Structures are given as structure tokens and as C-alpha cells.
């Protein structure tokens, strides 16, 4: 038995003797190496630590903003919505996923894309402190299944996320239908979301110039502001070109 997300601690997960990090995830590494030069060395511990920090910072900001936004109260209660806020922070939770899931680095960028698509397809559901953890573990698991040649099963991801296998299975189905099964991430989209994480890095750095800081803040993407307008515009341009 193990404790769930709503408790104070998460269980230790025991990795098999041969972790999946020893295997080559060709599809994910090909994308990351060829499409995003800043992510080309994502296997580097420092780069991955930064990626975790930037992504968790973005999700934290979005969740806190939506918590305070009266426009989202009341909102649709989904399967991802917890009764209380989990005591583990978003960054600690993401670090836990990274430590135990052993999925390729590109999965975290793809999971970021999936989360944004999910909020696009489900406008009544905003990312907040009550659902962000379950959305995150589900998004990473689905990204690993789609991107990596080898990955852990739902029972393992459930233990990493601190939920039951039954709930993990249900969340996966709900997430996939919420996405409309739109799992493919084209090169342009992948590169764009890498850029979004780079902008998040600028927001976390001490301000050097007020004008530059203001510009970065105003143009910085947020899941709550529907990032997928970029994908929509790109697709419209392709149709117009034809």
C-alpha cells in the first residue's frame, strides 16, 4: 500500500535493476537534437534541472493566477480536481516524476504542449492548484508512451504520482478524450514551446532593465491565456498557402 497525493508524503519508488534510462529513446532524442538547439544537450543534469524549474514555475504562476481569478469560480469539477490542495509543491512533484519516471527529456516539453492543448479543448477547465498535479503526471505519462520506445506502465506511474492505478487509468482516458487524441507534435510546435520555456527563464532572472523586463512579461505565454493560438495561426497560414 502507498499513500495518495492528498496525504503529506509520497512513497519511495523502487526502480528496477535496469532502469529505462539505459535504453535509447530514438524518436524523442531525434526531435530534441534536431529541432531545438537550446535543448540539444537536455541529457545534461544542469539543463534538465533548469527545464524542471522553468516548467514548474510557469505552471505555478498559472495555477495561482487561476486560483485568484473570479472568472474561474465556480468552474467545472473534473476527474483531475482534488478535494484539497496537495501539500507537495509543483516543482517537488515534477522533480519526483523526473527522478523516477526515466522518460526522455523531450517528454516534458511534449507534456507541456499536451497540457496547453487540453485547456484549449476544455475551456471550462482551468489549471489550478487543485488539478495541476494530476494533469501533470497524466500528461508526462502519455507523452512518454507517445515519444519513447520504452516506458513504464500505468501502475508504476500511479505510484510515482501518489494515486491509485485505477485512478491513473481513468485520468489517462479522460485526458486523451479531452485532447481529442491529438498527440502528434510537429517540429514547429516543439521548437515554439522550447522558446516559451526560454522566456520563462528570463522571467526568473533578476531584472536588468525595466523596459526589457516589461516586454518579456507582456509577451510571456501562459496556459491560462491559450497558447495554442500559435498553432491555430500556423495551420491557417498553411491552408492559405495551399
Cα 125 to Cα 68: distance, rounded to the nearest angstrom: 15
Please give the pLDDT value at position 39.
Answer: 46
Q: Write out the H or E segment, with its range, that includes residue 65.
A: helix 45-68
- Tens-place pLDDT, residues 89-98: 999 999 999 9
- Residue entry with cell 485520468: 171
The percent of residues in the chain predicted with pLDDT above 90, rounded, is 29
Report the C-alpha gap between 158 and 167 in whole angstroms. 8
**Alpha helices of 69-153 — where are they, by DSSP H?**
90-101, 106-121, 132-147
Distance CA 130, CA 74 (A): 13
pLDDT, residue 164, reads 93
- How many structural domains compose the chain? 1
Interval 21-37 mean pLDDT? 36
Sign of CA dihedral 44, 49, 52, 53: negative
Q: How large a percentage of the chain has pLDDT more than 70?
A: 61
The residues, any chain, with a CB within 8 Å of residue 222's CB and separated by 6 or more, are: 58, 61, 62, 65
Confidence of residue 30 (pLDDT cuts 50, 70, 90): very low
pLDDT for the residue 201: 72
Residue 8 lies in a domain: no
CB 90 within 8 A of CB 136: yes
Q: How far apart are CA 7 and CA 16, in angstroms?
A: 26
pTM, entire model: 0.70
Identify the domain containing residue 158 by its residue range: 23-241
Quick one: pLDDT band at residue 160, thresholds 50, 70, 90?
A: very high
**Interatomic CA distance for residues 51 and 47, integer angstroms:** 6
Whether residue 3 lies inside any domain: the answer is no
For residue 180, being part of any structural domain is answered with: yes
Here the cell at position 186 is 510537429
Look at residue 16 and tell me if it is in a domain.
no
Q: What CATH number is associated with residue 96?
A: 1.10.472.10
Average pLDDT score, the chain: 72
Amino acid at each position: 500500500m502507498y499513500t495518495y497525493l492528498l496525504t503529506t508524503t509520497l512513497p519511495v519508488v523502487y526502480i528496477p535493476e535496469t532502469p529505462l534510462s539505459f535504453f535509447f529513446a530514438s524518436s524523442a532524442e531525434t526531435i530534441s537534437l534536431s529541432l531545438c538547439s537550446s535543448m540539444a544537450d537536455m541529457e545534461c543534469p544542469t539543463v534538465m534541472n533548469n527545464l524542471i524549474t522553468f516548467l514548474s514555475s510557469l505552471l505555478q504562476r498559472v495555477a495561482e493566477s487561476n486560483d485568484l481569478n473570479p472568472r474561474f469560480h465556480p468552474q467545472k469539477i473534473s476527474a483531475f480536481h482534488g478535494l484539497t490542495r496537495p501539500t507537495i509543491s509543483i516543482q517537488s512533484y515534477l522533480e519526483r516524476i523526473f527522478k523516477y519516471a526515466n522518460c526522455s527529456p523531450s517528454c516534458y516539453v511534449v507534456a507541456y504542449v499536451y497540457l496547453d492543448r487540453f485547456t484549449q479543448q476544455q475551456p471550462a477547465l482551468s489549471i489550478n492548484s487543485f488539478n495541476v498535479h494530476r494533469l501533470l503526471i497524466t500528461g508526462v505519462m502519455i507523452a512518454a508512451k507517445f515519444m519513447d520506445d520504452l516506458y513504464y506502465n500505468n501502475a508504476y506511474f500511479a505510484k510515482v504520482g501518489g494515486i491509485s492505478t485505477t485512478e491513473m487509468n481513468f485520468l489517462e482516458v479522460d485526458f486523451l478524450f479531452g485532447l481529442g487524441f491529438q498527440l502528434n507534435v510537429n517540429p514547429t510546435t516543439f521548437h515554439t514551446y522550447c522558446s516559451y520555456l526560454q522566456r520563462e527563464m528570463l522571467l526568473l532572472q533578476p531584472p536588468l532593465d525595466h523596459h526589457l523586463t516589461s516586454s518579456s512579461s507582456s509577451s510571456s505565454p501562459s496556459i491560462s491565456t491559450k497558447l495554442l493560438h500559435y498553432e491555430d495561426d500556423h495551420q491557417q497560414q498553411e491552408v492559405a498557402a495551399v
